[in-house]
Chains A and B, each alone.
Chain A
Amino acid sequence: GAVVSQHPSRVICKSGTSVKIECRSLDFQATTMFWYRQFPKKSLMLMATSNEGSKATYEQGVEKDKFLINHASLTLSTLTVTSAHPEDSSFYICSARPTSGRSYNEQFFGPGTRLTVL
Chain B
Amino acid sequence: AQTVTQSQPEMSVQEAETVTLSCTYDTSESNYYLFWYKQPPSRQMILVIRQEAYKQQNATENRFSVNFQKAAKSFSLKISDSQLGDTAMYFCAFLMNRDDKIIFGKGTRLHILP
Contact = CB atoms under 8 A, between A and B. Distances in A.
Q: Do A and B bind each other?
A: yes
Main DSSP-derived SS at the A contact region:
strand
A64 B44 CA distance: 26
A105 interface: yes
Nearest to A104: B98
Interface centre among A34, A42, A106, A108 (most CB of B within 10 A): A106
A47 to B, nearest CB: 11
A112 B105 contact: no
Contacts of A106: 35, 47, 50
Interface in B55-114: 89, 91, 95, 98, 101-102, 104-107, 109
Given A49-B101, A105-B98, A44 B91 contact: yes
A107 interface: yes
A111 B107 contact: no
B28 interface: no
A103 to B, nearest CB: 9
Nearest to A48: B101
A108 B109 CA distance: 21
Contacts of B35: 106
Chain B: interface size category: 20 to 34
Contact of A46 (B47, B89, B101): B101
Contact of B45 (A41, A46, A104, A109): A109
Contacts of B95: 105
B106 A43 contact: yes
A48 B89 CA distance: 23
A28 interface: no
Nearest to B101: A46
B101 A93 contact: no
A43 B9 CA distance: 11
7 contacts: A41-B109, A44-B45, A44-B104, A97-B98, A105-B98, A108-B47, A112-B43
Complex A-B, nearest 5 residue pairs according to Cβ-Cβ distance, in ascending order: A109-B45, A105-B98, A111-B44, A43-B106, A43-B104
Given A43-B104, A49-B101, A104-B98, 12 more contacts: A34-B101, A43-B91, A43-B105, A44-B91, A44-B104, A93-B43, A95-B45, A106-B47, A107-B102, A109-B45, A111-B43, A111-B44
